[in-house]
Structure 1
Amino acid sequence: MMYSIPATSMPAAKANRVLRNSYMLLAITLLPSIAGAYLGALFPLMAQLGGIMTVVVFLGAMFGIQSMVIKNRHSVAGIGWLLLFTFVMGYFTGPLVGFALGSFSNGAELVAMAIGGTAALFFILAGYATVTKRNLASPSIGKMLMIGMVMLFAISLMNIFIQAPAVMLAVSTLFILIASGFIVFTINNVVRGGQDNYIMVTMTLYIMLLNLFQSLLHLLMMFSGNRE
């Protein structure tokens, strides 16, 4: 059930400023992400450490740097930690991009389609979350989305070792739905005054966009990939 709340909980000008700063910072995060992805494709950590240790390093880096972003979210240092976070996440995404480019004759097309699909989804979802009169940022919705994301994340980590195509298909599809919901929730939360820290907004949007991109690329490789 959706609940309506007054739109005056945060002045419109302030909400617009938070969103504008978030979108600007989100665009900047693409630079370290691309650099990290390039290095990750050239020097994948899994090739050196193996699957289990790579997962351990990934989890430690992700949660460790995230905690520093949260701790410094009210200072300029938070931006620095966020850019480091996006570089590291880009690095761990690099092997997936490298696999697509190296294993499929239409790999570059698949990556481009995943990027384009992610951008298109984001613009549609952001526009809807900004203009809708419905409250899509209630605590119950946020809790439901968080539980779904944690469960999918755990399943996706296990599937690294299982390598079950059916599980990958289901997880990728559900990640797209959950990540889309989080984007709407986050932006609508800003519009309604529930979040006024643009660093936190940017980090959440970045994580969801990365999930969208990875999930779309997985699905495109499964259904449209031409093996070399």
Structure 2
Amino acid sequence: MSWSLRWLALEVKRLDRSAAFYQRYLDLPVHSEHEDEIILGAGTTDLVFRRPTDIPRGGLHTHFAVSTPATEYNDWWERLSAQFDLTEAEFPTGKSLYFYDPDGNCVEIGQSTDDTGDGITGVFEIVLEVEELDRAESFYEAIGFTVVDRGDDRQRTRLSVGTFDIELWEPQLGIADARGGVHVDFGIESDDQSPTAVLNRVDSVVDTEQLENGVRVTDPDGHRLTLL
């Protein structure tokens, strides 16, 4: 099964300040603007900023990673290091840098293995805080994710659907003292299965809500996932 990440929502105190931050430092364009929500384009993914006025809220202190072509990574480092105390980590797939936005979200910019495009090309990872790894793993495996890594020194699991990953963390601090997000809201789209067919495989859904173009489900840890 193939999934693509359509959007990630973040809860913010001030829409104007948060939108301006990502426009200034990541060059993200505005896609739409409403009274309690602003949507910016992060490559193939929409980044949604919401004030806490309704359900679903966006995620709090969410750690997420955006990709950039490997050839542009050093340019981002030089540009952002003048304003932020950056943390850097190196992985088998390349380097990543980390910094924080005004609402306490940890933003990671990682080198993409695909050098097509320019600037920020999409969100490739979201970190969710969970109470029990086994339960959370079962939920997302039923959705169609595959476990690709488990931590030795930290209680975490990485699951992938090829185009992007989810990391499940029991409460902890990660690289750059990042934390997993709470009550995160995000949307994924499948090109080969209907939301109804997917839900028939999932036993631990807390709640479901039928939408015009999909189904929003609440996982056992209070994260809201829209299947399109």
Could you tell me the TM-score, scaled by structure 1's length?
0.23
Question: Which structure exhibits the higher relative contact order, with contacts defined as CA atoms closer than 8 Å and separated by 6 or more residues?
Answer: 1
Q: Which has the larger radius of gyration?
A: 1
Q: Which has the higher helix share?
A: 1
Could you tell me the TM-score, scaled by structure 2's length?
0.23
Q: Which has the higher strand share?
A: 2
